[in-house]
Structure 1
Amino acid sequence: MLSVTGTNFRISAPEVYGEPPDESISHAAKIYGLSAILAAIALTQWLIIGSTELLTHNRSEERYGWWLLCTFFAVATLSWTKFGRKVPFNYIIIGAIVESSTIYIAMEQRHNENRLVNFYAGIVVVALMLVSIFWGAYFPMFVVPGDLLLSCLVVIANIMMIIFFINVLFINYQGIYYAVRNTFALVAICMVMYTATIIHDRQFDVPKNEYLFLSVLQFFSYMILHERILAISFTSTKKTGC
């Protein structure tokens, strides 16, 4: 009698976060919707923290470097490792990124007691995000950051991070802090533009289950820009004595 050995034809699960739960929602809507939800979670906590005395507002320059370094490591783990892509670890990492960034920005907001200035800073950041997304989605590709420019900016950002910690440990020159923060703000804007080209299929086709990573990347860029605008507004109000 002939016997047929059982063969396992089970389709392996996708390596990136699992399938999208609802195919009726577009890829772009998932990314922008989740980004907006993460930003709303942060905004709600900022309002709660701002109305209480939960956090102090002592300035610490190295706090920025550690937040940036640890958050970038978390985003890299989320996007490039099998461990970071699996449930529930991906959700845990996302939660850690959102909460740590929310608390850090909340402490930065407490540096400026003028709530109206903080409100206007938020409007400026949202406007920058929308303009960057629109630029990447609809402007001609020759004026949109590509792979080469983004790679160069990432290399420069890594070098600036090393310089930042050298400055913290040995030099403590304020101009270097400004240069590093401005560099990362530029990287964040270019990252949002580049992400928009991916979301709107202008660069190359990506798996449609990549929406979690892209949403967190947009949220992280939003946090970097928010910190930079808050620092500028704090310096400006301090000089004018407001």
Structure 2
Amino acid sequence: MFAVRRVNLRALSEPDIFGIPPDQNISHAGRVYGLSVVLAVVALSQWLILGWCNVEVDKTYEERYGWWLLCTFFAVVILAWTKVGRKVPFNYIIIACIVESSTVYIALEQTNSKNGLVNFYAGVVVVALMLASIFWGAYFPMFIVPGDLVLSILVAIANIMMILFFLNAFWFGFPAIYTAVRNTFAVVAVCMVMYTATIIHDRQFDVPKNEYLFLSVLQFFSYMILHERILTLANQNSRNSIECGV
């Protein structure tokens, strides 16, 4: 009976994680950042292919941004906090859906501008912003890094802004509200990258070292949000310069 009890205690102490155990030869940070880079490269490759195929979009629907953001957020939640979402192959299927939906959405947004220099400029700015946010969360003093309270408040504000976004999309139609919502989610994305960096570098609290799939997806999702925001701003500035004859 004592032996059975020891087995039960051991089972309870193991993390509730499903899937393939991580490679011990690769560090926790290396796995997270490496997978994030792989996901970003997959997205970039498909953007180039879709650009060469000259995909045309007749009309830009503002509510498309809201549906993409809402569905992707819930997919990340399922991947991170549900047992089904963590099991193989469901976790890989969810990750593939997140990457593909985000890739296609950004590709559709890029069709609003055929200026390759603008797209390149947006990509460089977003990569630099991501690296700066990771460095901030990993090495800056913790009292100036977003913590649990700040992130919880931002998530609550983001939920309110999401509701406001759909109300505006279907009833009001004020352009300023669209801008405010996208700026809010850009701020949330930056803070999320900083917060994720504190977890990856063991500054926030200890997490099981095979908890790396959803951390990578969180970074990828934040990257997509920032890419959409910077791309929109770059396209707007490009159009304004053309209209002004610059």
TM-score normalised to structure 2 length:
0.92
Q: Does structure 1 retain, via aligned residues, the 8 Å contact 2:15–2:208?
A: no
Q: Which residue of 1 aligns with 2:75?
A: 74
Q: Cα distance, 1:57 vs. partner?
A: 5.7
Is 2:234 the partner of 1:218? no
- C-alpha separation between the residues in 2 aligned to 1:37 and 1:17? 21
SS at the partner of 2:210? coil
Q: Cα distance, 1:241 vs. partner?
A: 1.5
Q: Which residue of 2 aligns with 1:188?
A: 189
SS at the partner of 2:163? helix
Q: Does structure 2 retain, via aligned residues, the 8 Å contact 1:125–1:222?
A: yes
- C-alpha separation between the residues in 2 aligned to 1:7 and 1:16? 22
Q: Which residue of 1 aligns with 2:37?
A: 36
Which one-letter code corresponds to 2:179 in the other structure? Answer: Y
Q: Which residue of 1 aligns with 2:84?
A: 83
Q: Which residue of 1 aligns with 2:60?
A: 59
- C-alpha separation between the residues in 2 aligned to 1:121 and 1:219? 16
Q: Which residue of 2 aligns with 1:239?
A: 240
Q: Which residue of 2 aligns with 1:172?
A: 173
Gaps of 5+ in 2: none
- C-alpha separation between the residues in 1 aligned to 2:16 and 2:43? 29
Q: Which residue of 2 aligns with 1:117?
A: 118
- C-alpha separation between the residues in 1 aligned to 2:164 and 2:153? 17
SS at the partner of 1:195? helix
Q: Does structure 2 retain, via aligned residues, the 8 Å contact 1:31–1:211?
A: yes
Structure 1, 106-115 or 177-186: larger mean CA deviation? 106-115
Is 2:128 the partner of 1:130? no
Q: Which residue of 1 aligns with 2:48?
A: 47
Q: Does structure 2 retain, via aligned residues, the 8 Å contact 1:57–1:108?
A: no
Is 2:148 the partner of 1:154? no
- C-alpha separation between the residues in 2 aligned to 1:148 and 1:7? 41
Q: Does structure 1 retain, via aligned residues, the 8 Å contact 2:72–2:98?
A: yes
Structure 1, 20-29 or 138-147: larger mean CA deviation? 20-29
Q: Does structure 1 retain, via aligned residues, the 8 Å contact 2:109–2:228?
A: yes
Gaps of 5+ in 1: none
Which one-letter code corresponds to 2:93 in the other structure? Answer: I
Structure with the larger helix share: 2
SS at the partner of 2:128? helix
SS at the partner of 1:100? helix
SS at the partner of 1:18? coil
TM-score normalised to structure 1 length:
0.94
Cα deviation code 1:85-112 (max 9, x no counterpart): 1111000000000000000000111111
Q: Which runs of 4+ in 1 moved over 6 A?
A: none
Q: Cα distance, 1:234 vs. partner?
A: 1.2
Q: Does structure 2 retain, via aligned residues, the 8 Å contact 1:15–1:86?
A: no
Structure 1, 96-105 or 47-56: larger mean CA deviation? 47-56
Structure-2 change in CA distance of 1:105 and 1:224 (3 Å): same
- C-alpha separation between the residues in 1 aligned to 2:126 and 2:174? 27
- C-alpha separation between the residues in 1 aligned to 2:24 and 2:118? 41
- C-alpha separation between the residues in 2 aligned to 1:195 and 1:7? 38
Cα deviation code 1:123-161 (max 9, x no counterpart): 000000000000000000111000000000000000000
Match runs of 1:195-214 below 5 Å: 195-214=196-215
Q: CA-atom RMSD, angstroms?
A: 1.8
- C-alpha separation between the residues in 1 aligned to 2:124 and 2:20? 34
- C-alpha separation between the residues in 1 aligned to 2:125 and 2:18? 33
